[in-house]
Amino acid sequence: MLAANFIDPGIIDARTDATPGRPGAGEVLVAGKACGICGSDLHMFRHNTSRERLTRKTPEGYEVPGHEFAGTIAAIGPDVEGWQVGDRVVGVTGKGGGMAQFVTVPVNPFQLVRIPDGVSFEEAATTEPLADGLQMARKAAIAAGENVLVFGVGIIGLGVIQAIRARGLEPARIIAVDIHDRRLEAALAVGATDVINAREQDVVEAAAALCGREDDFRGQSAKIDVVIDCAGYIRHIPGSPPLQLALRMIANRNGRIVCFGGFEGEMPIDFSYVIRKEPVIIGSNGYAAEELAEALDLMAAGKVDRGSLISHRFPLEAVAEAFAAQRQPDSVKVMLQVPPHQAEAARSGHGGSRRETSGDDQRCAGPFPCSDRGGGRAARRGLGNAPWPAAGSRAGAPQRCPRFPARRHPGALHRIAQGRAACRLSAARHSRP
């Protein structure tokens, strides 16, 4: 299969010979259609940050990034109920793998959710970042009339602003802070009241000019009630990190700081503000399961526009160019478009929709040409997860090739089990009716 391969900081390429995984118990295999480049992917690309958590190794040793993607179910592992081959889904992996034609995903409400009608694969691939924003908005407990400041308005920070507006919260101001004008323009478009370019302005002074000042025995503040930090610590950006600025700006009473952005190493910080102002500092890592579904529902209802935030599109083969584009000041969200695998293309070309397939075909339409589901030669050879029996199927039943599910396949030699073994299907069992 085609897959991205992260080699070293600053070096990534695409491989055409990667071996796809097979879904284990409680998993499905997703045929990817679109995968976004996340800010955490960029941290890794620059400095190797969290590489072991953000990539998934293939048997060849390729390290495949990508954890926010959308596609269709191509195969279903054992002990999975309620899902069908062909279902349109959002997948979220805990360990990369999404920048590929196929990726296995555990079946649970945190990692697999159906895409509603009317939501495109590209829009759906931004579901996880929006769910992150919904959680941050929830944790911040924003009250009407409060001043909110969002550091970093890439796809995550923009999602925070969209979440605040979509949930009907009514802060006095939503101030977006970034160093790129393109992203600040996007922030205004999705609901920010004010923007500050941190490269051109003193953030604390600019915030105070908008919201006022406090100066009492607790110290000084810019009367910001809530700071949501989606930027974290980026080594190459000069000046104080956002968390330090947040402590300076935060209100002297009842302030909340939500930390989400990644940190590219250790940093010095004056923590005395925490003692004097007593703000609540909250970490945010992910989302509640219901917020993943809520994000898609908001898209389907037209309450948020995610498509307009996709600034660049590249085919998966051009993954190196895509990462280069994501680092440019005019980028917001870079989306990788994943081409269909030849097995998937053949199936869609000959078998019609998933509703036209027989029960024998409901559990496999992936890159493995033959699964010998009748418990025959492949099963006896112990080829891992090769047998994927359909519900109610019987041993010895005539087998159908996933490439041509509408008819039985003529006798042929097919590669299975990740290319390591083969089974010859007899002409007698696969003869035409």
**pLDDT score at 345:** 64
Number of neighbouring beta carbons within 10 Å of residue 120:
16
pTM: 0.80
- Tens of pLDDT, residues 137-151: 999 999 999 999 999
Residues 271-297 have a mean pLDDT of 97
Characterise 16 by phi-psi region: left (phi > 0), alpha (psi -120 to 50), beta (else). Answer: alpha
**pLDDT score at 364:** 59
**With bands split at pLDDT 50, 70 and 90, how would you rate the model's confidence at 83?**
very high
Q: Which of 161, 143, 141, 165 is nearest to 153 (CA)?
A: 161
Share of the chain above pLDDT 90, in %: 72
Number of neighbouring beta carbons within 10 Å of residue 375:
16
Q: Which of 43-52, 299-308, 385-394, 396-405: highest mean pLDDT?
A: 299-308
- Tens of pLDDT, residues 198-257: 999 999 999 999 999 999 999 999 999 999 999 988 776 777 899 999 999 999 999 999
**pLDDT score at 234:** 75
- Tens of pLDDT, residues 314-355: 999 999 999 999 999 889 999 999 999 887 766 655 333 333
- Tens of pLDDT, residues 25-77: 999 999 999 999 998 899 899 999 899 999 999 999 999 999 999 999 999 99
Q: What integer best gives the mean pLDDT of the chain?
A: 83
- Check whether 301 has a pLDDT greater than 70: yes
Kindly list the structural domains of the chain, giving each domain's residue range(s) and its CATH number in brackets, ordered by start.
Answer: 3-126+306-337 (3.90.180.10), 130-283 (3.40.50.720), 364-433 (no CATH)
3-state secondary structure the chain: CCEEEEEECCEEEEECCCCCCCCCCCEEEEEEEEEECCHHHHHHHHHCCCHHHHCEECCCCCEECCCEEEEEEEEECCCCCCCCCCCEEEEECCCCCCCECEEEEECCCCCEEECCCCCCHHHHCCHHHHHHHHHHHHHHCCCCCCEEEEECCCHHHHHHHHHHHHCCCCCCEEEEEECCHHHHHHHHHHCCCEEEECCCCCHHHHHHHHHCCEEECCEEECCECEEEECCCECCCCCCCCHHHHHHHHECCCCCEEEECCCECCCCCCCCHHHHHHCCEEEECCCCCHHHHHHHHHHHHCCCCCCHHHEEEEEEHHHHHHHHHHHCCCCCCEEEEECCCCHHHHHHHHHHCCHHHCCHHHCCECCCCCCCCCCCCHHHHCCCCCCCCCCCCCCCCCCCCCCCCCCCCCCCCEEEECCCCEEEECCCCCCCCC
